[in-house]
Structure 1
């Protein structure tokens, strides 16, 4: 369905959702669902849950050289 084919009541409903997304509980429920899923994975000591807990990559990416955010990267010279 294209935007020009929407009826007036559908368009008004869409505008209220866009103007106030918390009114329709769009993002809040999604955040709670993700948090509950991660907590469940951590609780059962799943590999994915532990990777989330440690702050590492979860989906099988290589981590030797990429994604070094917040960690020490190089070696300082001896003076």
Structure 2
């Protein structure tokens, strides 16, 4: 698996990326990499929760439309 930081490292400087991978050298910006990893984790949680809320909203909208259709078919005016 390739991480976003590895892609960024390669895009910034392929030679640096090659040395990190081939020579086992650790990047000097370990703190920034950890912050980036935490940020990506928080972003993933936010996206999952956003999808859940969106699904709930769509479900409630469909339920309201069905209820309105049933009331209309029964002749009850809201």
Q: Judge same fold: TM > 0.5, yes or no.
A: no
Structure having the higher helix fraction is: 2
- Higher RCO structure (Cα 8 Å, ≥6 apart): 2
Larger CA Rg, structure 1 vs 2: 2
TM-score interval, smaller chain: 0.3 to 0.5
Taking structure 2 as the reference length, the TM-score comes to 0.36
